[in-house]
């Protein structure tokens, strides 16, 4: 794998530095992958790093290091994997893989198969990713769908590279929005019973509220207004939360998102827990009283102003139970917490990071990923949406229209920090213009080629002793195959799965290009056919592993 070769090159360069210029000490050896493959597969800037300390030009230092690197490499197990080393201005040392180096990537794939891409990079560190966490006041929207796709894919990647990552959903089952939900259901129930009552101005619109009101009456045998009056507001709220959580959970299961932990505000952040945390923070000097309210000194950790945690009337602010909830997560042993939130939470980031600091943790142990909104387009026109007015396209509707696979893939087609335009018509199109179809078709094509080879020629992929793959399209495919584990680690480092989609599109494109340029099955040269089948089998494995991480099906036929 790239990472193994990179590590060995770092050791070789470090040894060369100690041999040729020991006065440089033990500098950090950084090896990158050049953007332009004409500069090789690996590039090191050590000469640029040492220029000031050694008072020499980078090119002179690189020229001094080159013979030492070559001498060490000749005695090193890596020697057969490196074809050439060059110095490139202004002082880079570039390494080019040999054919044996590229073939080693195929060997890795065939040995590891479904485990290819896995690593111990995360060293078992405990991660908690909380995402979606939609208030149970309506069905999941496309915004929640995008957050679900990002969060679920990230957890899949983190687990693959060695983190102990868990998916958590936090249910805000208390507070003003739940009160509004209860009033909305009650008003619709009265209207269904014939009472002419105005609907709350801040109430939740939409047919789903009417359906919930009818279900509430059916479950409780309510036939008259008198029957309804015997029901408490608390009963309406409790019913609404339970009803909508059932809807939300079913949507998530059908979206192939399965949470490990369901946390409820009512259980975690009750009065006793809140008062205990506030007393602790006050005792540490992080809370002060002013004009009857309690203020949290969030400015100590970079917030632009201190935040109220208890109002002068005794009510808690939105931040207060969240501080308790994050203490609960840290107390459960998570070394790193990631909150995936919508764009209306930008101002929330510094205050919750300050809370982590006040709780005795580093603010860096808490990451907040802001996922921008997704705009839905149908027939070239933007679909207007408002959850409060009941005008929105739900995640369920998108899944039913384009399918779960296309929905998950399209939600990931931009970086989380970028606005996303979701074209429903494109997502349904069965052509190369549709990226998920393009990649799934590549996977199905690998199966088709291998099936045909077995059925018509009795040729199997040659999984060892490969030595004839040398065409540019073959080299490009092997290069991309070898780079796959690096892509996953990069996604884990940045907490951003978008690079995996870019990688998949490039790998699928490379496969289609290779197939169009070269004859895979040749009865006159079965040995070469077997090697090319091996290349296709390796692509199949990587495509399959990647699509599994995305939660997208890898079809064998299309």
CB 339 within 8 Å of CB 130: yes
The CA-atom distances, in angstroms, between 341 and each of 20, 143, 325, 500 are: 52, 10, 15, 21
Whole-number Å distance between alpha carbons of 117 and 142: 30
Angle at 503 between CA 6 and CA 487, to 5 degrees: 35
- Print the SS3 string covering 390-407: CECCEHHHHHHHHCHHHH
Sign of CA dihedral 506, 98, 82, 84: negative
Per DSSP, the chain holds a count of helices (H) and strands (E) of 20, 15
pLDDT at 393 (0 to 100): 86
CB 181 within 8 Å of CB 159: no
Location of structure tokens 């036929």: 557
Distance of CA 552 to the CA centre of its chain: 14
pLDDT at 122 (0 to 100): 98
Residue ranges per domain, the chain? 2-97, 126-172+257-370, 176-254, 435-550
The CA-atom distances, in angstroms, between 54 and each of 21, 57, 58, 79, 93 are: 8, 9, 9, 29, 17
Q: Tens-digit pLDDT profile for the chain (558 aa)?
A: 788 999 999 999 999 999 999 999 999 999 999 989 999 999 999 999 999 999 999 999 999 999 999 999 999 999 999 999 999 999 999 999 999 999 999 999 999 999 999 999 999 999 999 999 999 999 999 999 999 999 999 999 999 999 999 999 999 999 899 999 999 999 999 999 999 999 999 999 889 999 999 999 999 999 999 999 999 999 999 999 999 999 999 999 999 999 999 999 999 999 999 999 999 999 999 999 999 999 999 999 999 999 999 999 999 999 999 999 999 999 999 999 999 999 988 889 999 999 999 999 999 999 999 999 999 998 888 887 655 555 678 999 999 999 999 999 999 999 999 999 999 999 999 999 999 999 999 999 999 999 999 999 999 999 999 999 999 999 999 999 999 999 999 999 999 999 999 999 999 999 999 999 999 999 999 999 999 999 999 999 999 999 999 999 999 999
Whole-number Å distance between alpha carbons of 16 and 27: 12
Mean pLDDT over all residues of the chain?
Answer: 96
Bond prior to 208 in cis (omega within 30° of 0):
no
pLDDT at 390 (0 to 100): 53
Helix/strand/coil percent split, the chain, to 5 = 55, 15, 30
CB 27 within 8 Å of CB 19: no
Tell me the two tokens of residue 154: 């990230």
Whole-number Å distance between alpha carbons of 68 and 70: 5
pLDDT at 256 (0 to 100): 98
Determine the topology of domain 435-550 in CATH: Isoleucyl-tRNA Synthetase; Domain 1 (1.10.730)
Determine the topology of domain 2-97 in CATH: Gyrase A; domain 2 (3.30.1360)
Whole-number Å distance between alpha carbons of 304 and 298: 8
Q: What are phi and psi of 394, to 5 degrees?
A: -80, 160
Distance of CA 73 to the CA centre of its chain: 38
146, 150, 151, 153 alpha-carbon torsion, rounded to 10°: 130
Q: What are phi and psi of 385, to 5 degrees?
A: -140, 140
- Domain 2-97 matches domain 126-172+257-370 at the CATH topology level: no
The superfamily in CATH containing domain 126-172+257-370 is HUPs (3.40.50.620)
Q: Which residues contact 535 (CB under 8 A, 6 or more apart)?
A: 106, 469, 474, 477, 478, 514
Sign of CA dihedral 478, 481, 486, 491: positive
* pTM for the whole structure: 0.94
CA atoms within 13 A on the CB side of 345: 21
> Quick count: other Cβ atoms within 10 Å of Cβ 290?
10
- DSSP of 131-178, one letter per residue? -----TTS--BHHHHHHHHHHHHHHHHHHHTT-EEEEEEEE--SSHHH
- Print the SS3 string covering 271-317: HHHHHHHHHHHHHCCCEEEECCEEEECHHHHCCCCCEEEECCCCCEC
pLDDT at 383 (0 to 100): 84
pLDDT at 205 (0 to 100): 87
User: 3-state class of 342 per DSSP?
Assistant: coil
């Amino acid at each position: 794998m790239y990472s193994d070769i990179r590590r060995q090159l770092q050791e070789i360069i470090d040894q060369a530095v100690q041999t040729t210029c020991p006065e440089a000490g033990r500098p950090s050896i950084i090896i990158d992958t050049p953007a332009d493959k004409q500069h090789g597969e690996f590039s090191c800037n050590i000469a640029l790093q040492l220029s000031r300390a050694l008072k020499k030009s980078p090119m002179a230092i690189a020229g001094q290091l080159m013979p030492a690197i070559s001498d060490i490499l000749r005695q090193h197990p890596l020697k057969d994997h490196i074809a050439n080393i060059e110095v490139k201005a202004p002082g880079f040392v570039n390494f080019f893989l040999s054919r044996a180096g590229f073939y080693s990537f195929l060997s890795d794939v065939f040995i590891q198969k479904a485990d290819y891409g896995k690593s111990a990079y995360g060293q078992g560190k405990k991660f908690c990713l909380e995402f979606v966490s939609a208030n149970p006041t309506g069905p999941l929207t496309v915004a929640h769908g995008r957050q679900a796709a990002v969060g679920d894919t990230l957890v899949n990647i983190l687990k693959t590279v060695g983190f102990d990552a868990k998916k958590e959903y936090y249910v805000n089952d208390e507070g003003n929005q739940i009160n509004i939900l209860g009033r909305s259901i009650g008003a619709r129930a009265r209207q269904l019973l014939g009472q002419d009552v105005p609907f709350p101005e801040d109430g939740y619109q939409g047919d789903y509220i009417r359906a919930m009101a009818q279900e509430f009456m059916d479950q409780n045998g309510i036939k008259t207004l008198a029957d309804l009056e015997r029901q408490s507001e608390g009963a309406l709220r409790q019913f609404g939360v339970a009803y909508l959580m059932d809807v939300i959970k079913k949507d998530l299961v059908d979206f192939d998102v399965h949470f490990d932990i369901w946390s409820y505000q009512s259980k975690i952040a009750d009065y006793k827990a809140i008062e205990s945390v506030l007393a602790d923070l006050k005792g540490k000097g992080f809370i002060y009283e002013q004009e009857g309210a309690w203020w949290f000194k969030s400015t100590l950790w970079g917030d632009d102003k201190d935040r109220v945690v208890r109002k002068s009337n005794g009510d808690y602010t939105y931040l207060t139970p969240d501080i308790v909830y994050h203490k609960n997560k840290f107390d459960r042993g998570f070394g790193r917490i990631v909150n995936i939130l919508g764009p209306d939470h930008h101002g929330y980031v510094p205050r919750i990071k300050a809370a982590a600091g006040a709780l005795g943790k580093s603010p860096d142990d808490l990451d907040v990923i802001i996922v921008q909104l997704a705009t839905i387009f149908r027939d070239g026109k933007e679909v207007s949406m408002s959850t409060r007015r009941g005008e929105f396209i739900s995640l369920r509707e998108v899944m039913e229209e384009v399918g779960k696979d296309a929905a998950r893939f399209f939600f990931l087609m931009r970086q989380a920090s970028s606005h996303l335009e979701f074209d429903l018509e494109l997502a349904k199109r069965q052509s190369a213009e549709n990226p998920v179809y393009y990649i799934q078709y590549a996977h199905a094509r690998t199966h088709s080629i291998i099936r045909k080879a077995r059925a018509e020629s009795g040729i199997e992929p040659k999984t060892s002793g490969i030595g004839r793959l040398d065409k540019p399209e073959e080299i490009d495919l092997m290069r991309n195959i070898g780079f796959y584990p690096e892509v996953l680690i990069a996604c884990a480092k940045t907490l951003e799965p978008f690079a995996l989609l870019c990688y998949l599109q490039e790998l699928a494109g490379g496969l289609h290009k290779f197939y169009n340029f070269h004859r895979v099955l040749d009865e006159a040269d079965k040995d070469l056919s077997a090697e090319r089948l091996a290349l296709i089998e390796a692509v199949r494995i990587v495509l399959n592993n990647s699509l599994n991480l995305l939660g997208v099906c890898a079809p064998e036929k299309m």
